[in-house]
Structure 1
Amino acid sequence: MGSGSAIRGSRVGAGPMGEAERGEAAPRIRVAFYCANKHEVVPSFSHEAQVPDEWDCPRCGFPAGKDPDNPPAPPKTEPYKTHLAYVKERRSDADGQAILEEALAKLRAERAAIAAAIKPRND
C-alpha cells in the first residue's frame, strides 16, 4: 500500500484546461531569414510587431536577411593586434629609435648619479 497522496504525480497548474485558462494566443506571423551560410531561420513575430530587416542566425551568428538569393555579408573581423602593432601604426622606426635613445640617456644619467652617491670615500 502506498503512503501517498491523492494528487500524487501531478503539480499545481497541470490541468487539462490549456488555452481556456491562459487565454487566446496573440496572432503570429512567421518570417524566413537566410544567412550567408545558407541557414534558414524562421522566427515568429506578433502580427502587430514591426519585423526587422535582419536577424542573427542562431547556428553561425552571421546576420540573416529576408532575401534567400542575396543574404547580408558576414561581418569582417580584424585579427588580434598586439600593443607593438598599434605603436608601429603611430610611430616610424626613426621616431622609435629617438625615443629609445632618450630613455637610455636618462637611465644612464640616473645610474651615474646613484653610483656617484654610493662611491666609497677614501678618508
Structure 2
Amino acid sequence: MAGGNAIRGSRVGAGPMGEAERGDSAPRTRVSYFCAGGHVTRPAFAVDAPIPESWDCPRCGLPANTDEENPPPPPKITPYKTHLAYVKERRTDAEAEQILEEAVTALRARRASGEVIY
C-alpha cells in the first residue's frame, strides 16, 4: 500500500517543470565525431559556440574527430617501467659492476673494523 503524503519528494514553491518555467532553450547544432573504434558520438553545441576539432569517445575513450574517413589513430601507450629499467638506461653493465664492487669493499671494511651492520 502506497504511503500517505502526496507531495513527497517535492519542495515548497515547486511547480511544473518545462519550457514555460525555464524559458526557451538556446538553438543547438549536433556535430558527429568518429573514433578509430567505429563509434559515432553526436554531442549538441550552442549555435554560436566554437566547435572543438576533437572529442573523446564516451564508449571507448579514444580520440575522435569529424572526419569519418580518417578518424584519429589510438594514442601509443608506453609500457610501465620499473625502477631497475630506468637505472639500466642510465648505466652500463660495466658501471654497475664497478659501483657494486665499491659498495661491497666499503661494507667489508666496515665489518672488519667491528662496526655492527644490520
Partner of 2:10: 11
- Paired residues in the alignment total 112
Tell me the distance in 2 between the aligned counterparts of 1:41 and 1:35: 8
Tell me the distance in 2 between the aligned counterparts of 1:4 and 1:96: 79
Partner of 2:107: 107
TM-aligned CA deviation for residue 50 of structure 1: 0.5
Partner of 1:58: 58
The reply on whether 1:47 has 2:47 as its aligned counterpart is yes
Which letter does structure 2 place at the counterpart of 1:85? A
TM-aligned CA deviation for residue 114 of structure 1: 1.7
What aligned pairs does 1:31-42 form with structure 2 within 5 A after superposition?
31-42=31-42
Partner of 1:120: none
TM-aligned CA deviation for residue 11 of structure 1: 2.5
Gaps of 5+ in 2: none
* Change over 3 Å in CA distance of 1:77–1:10 after alignment to 2: closer
Tell me the distance in 2 between the aligned counterparts of 1:98 and 1:9: 78
With the length of structure 1 as denominator, give the TM-score of the two structures: 0.82
> Where has structure 1 moved over 6 Å in runs of 4 or more?
none
* Change over 3 Å in CA distance of 1:56–1:91 after alignment to 2: same
Tell me the distance in 2 between the aligned counterparts of 1:4 and 1:87: 71
Partner of 1:121: none
Cα offsets for 1:4-24 (capped at 9, x unmatched): 55x446724342x52111011
Tell me the distance in 2 between the aligned counterparts of 1:30 and 1:80: 39
The reply on whether 1:86 has 2:93 as its aligned counterpart is no
Tell me the distance in 1 between the aligned counterparts of 2:20 and 2:7: 24
Gaps of 5+ in 1: 118-123
Tell me the distance in 1 between the aligned counterparts of 2:113 and 2:50: 73
With the length of structure 2 as denominator, give the TM-score of the two structures: 0.86
